[in-house]
Amino acid sequence: MEVVAVTDRTAPGALAARLTGRPATGERRLSGTLAEVTLDDGRTVMVKLGDGPGAARAEAAGLRWLADAGSVRLPTVYGHDERRLVIDRVSQGAPDARAAVRFGGALAALHAAGAPAYGAAPPGGPREAYIGRAPMRNVHGADWPVWYAEHRVLPYLRRAVDDGTIRPAEATVVEQVCERLPDLAGPAEPPARLHGDLWNGNVLWGADGHAWLIDPAAHGGHRETDLAMLALFGCPHLDHVLTGYQEAAPLADGWTDRVGLHQLFPLLVHAVLFGRGYAEQALNTARAALAR
């Protein structure tokens, strides 16, 4: 990819220079939504285009809120404009078991930092946010099963039905899970401070021996949701991550039986974004939850 001098005031380099206070000496486009900018002091920062209106603001607020917990590693946020975000680049290494155990303990501490309510947005973050490219509404709730059904599962189920990805008759099984959530959800827990989109692609294994988190859809929720998403799409050394987590903050009895409940949300989001394959996975997960 070509490295170019920064002359265009609308270029990523111009935004990076303004928000970091350092002249940009070059930029490299990595994709249509991501650019790498070199500063005159040798540092490299990333300029990311948000997924929609308010997305850059939501991501910046989420990164700062998660960093305030003082537990997991997150890139420094330099700021944002209406559409783009500027953060530090993470120097990447290879995952190993020790880093995974450390990450598990740090993730437990992040969750324990808490949130004002289920569905609470980060301070300064918008109510109308995103998870990936899908809109995500942050609405407060006091009861996790009710909140999770109304604001994390059913909106995406309805969208999938409206789009024809899930047939109306098939949707019944997910609706039945929502009705039974008070009995299936396990012991009540206080709202946790969630990353919110914790699939493996948003965990960067740093050259410093620590896991770093990027691209959050941060909000108050149930801590098992973050862990279920790690399991859904695979995470290197997940068993060691869970060991570190359990040593720091043991999970409630029966948590392994509830993994599917927490995966319904990301699966339905993926059904909305990517189609029928994820819809079938969501339906099978719902059927399995009802069979327990």
Specify burial of residue 291 (Cβ count, 10 A radius: 0-12, 13-18, 19+). Answer: exposed
Structure-token pair, residue 215: 């691209």
Q: Is residue 86 within 8 Å of residue 75, measured between CB atoms?
A: no
* Letter string b/e over residues 129-166, b meaning 16 or more CB atoms within 10 A of that residue's CB: bbbbebbbebbbbeebbebbbebbbbbbbebbbeeebb
The C-alpha atoms of residue 32 and residue 17 are separated, in whole angstroms, by 20
Instruction: Using alpha carbons only, give the angle 62, 235, 91 rounded to the nearest 5 degrees.
Output: 60
Q: Is residue 150 within 8 Å of residue 174, measured between CB atoms?
A: no
Q: Which has the closest alpha carbon to 145: 176, 192, 114, 182?
A: 182
Q: How far is CA 267 from CA 78, 228, 264, 286, in A?
A: 32, 11, 5, 10
- Could you list the active site residues? 197
